[in-house]
């Protein structure tokens, strides 16, 4: 008997094509886990246990990626979350707001900010500056997907899962359109008619 997940037609009818398969996502996440673990061992050495890095997931899109990525780490890690938002129920960006902030101080701590997708770069640029102003010892940025063609604010990613050149609207593996499609096991392009004409 196959254990393959059967997706409801209401989840898949507006999918144009699969961009990154579940297998590709898992393989790349494992690679990133090894790379990040190695880098923090080099950075912190014997201080790793006393100054455990904090993985900061950006709600809600990064939850799926963060869960898989942190399980791929071989170092101690703490969790916290922030929820920046520049979107309403549509896909159009607006002013950045912070809906949920960290629950612990970050002075002297090493932070790994985990994001689902970087488009304009404004969110990660803003958050990195804010966290450094709060006294973080270091802030590393990790994004599952990078769309550099849409960049408006310069931001340097320390870790990137996949670079996307196409200007497609992506959903799945945590990414949504109007809070739908987050639970797809892959990253897919949404048909334009599914989000145009709002």
Q: In 3D, which of 178, 174, 187, 192 has the Cα closest to residue 60?
A: 174
Residue 72 within any structural domain of the chain:
yes
pTM comes to: 0.90
Residue 4 within any structural domain of the chain:
no
Q: In 3D, which of 65, 74, 85, 61 has the Cα closest to residue 25?
A: 65
Computed on alpha carbons and rounded to an integer, the radius of gyration of the chain in Å comes to 17
Q: In 3D, which of 128, 119, 114 has the Cα closest to residue 164?
A: 119
Residue 73 within any structural domain of the chain:
yes
User: Partners of 15 in the beta sheet?
Assistant: 190
Structural domain total, the chain: 1
Q: In 3D, which of 163, 165, 184, 162 has the Cα closest to residue 173?
A: 184
Instruction: Respond yes or no: is residue 119 known to be catalytic.
Output: yes
148-178 pLDDT tens trace: 988 889 999 999 999 999 889 999 999 999 8
CATH of the domain at 118: 3.40.50.2020
Who contacts 134 (Cβ-Cβ below 8 Å, separation ≥6)?
Answer: 105, 106, 107
The DSSP letter of residue 62 is T
Residue 107 is part of which domain span?
27-85+96-168
Q: Indicate which residue of 68, 116, 119, 146 is catalytic.
A: 119
Contact 181/172 with Cβ under 8 angstroms? yes
Contact 143/118 with Cβ under 8 angstroms? yes
29-82 pLDDT tens trace: 999 999 999 999 999 999 999 999 999 999 999 999 999 999 999 999 999 999
Q: In 3D, which of 104, 134, 111 has the Cα closest to residue 57?
A: 111
């Amino acid at each position: 008997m196959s254990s393959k997940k059967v997706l409801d037609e209401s989840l898949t009818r507006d999918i144009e094509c699969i961009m990154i398969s579940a297998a590709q996502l898992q393989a790349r996440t494992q690679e990133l886990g090894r790379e990040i673990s190695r880098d923090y061992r080099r950075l912190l050495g014997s201080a790793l246990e006393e100054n455990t890095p904090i993985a900061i997931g950006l709600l809600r899109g990064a939850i799926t990626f963060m869960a898989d990525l942190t399980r791929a780490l071989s170092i101690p890690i703490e969790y916290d979350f922030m929820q920046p938002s520049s979107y309403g129920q549509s896909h159009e960006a607006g002013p950045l707001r912070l809906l949920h902030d960290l629950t612990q101080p970050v002075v002297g701590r090493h932070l790994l900010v985990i994001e689902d997708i970087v488009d304009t770069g404004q969110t990660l640029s803003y958050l990195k500056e804010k966290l450094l102003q709060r006294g973080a010892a270091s802030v590393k940025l990790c994004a599952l997907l990078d769309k550099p063609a849409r960049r408006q604010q310069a931001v340097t990613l320390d870790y990137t899962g996949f670079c996307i050149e196409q200007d497609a609207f992506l959903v799945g593996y945590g990414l949504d359109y109007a809070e739908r499609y987050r639970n797809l096991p892959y990253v897919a392009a949404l048909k334009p008619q599914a989000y145009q004409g709002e």
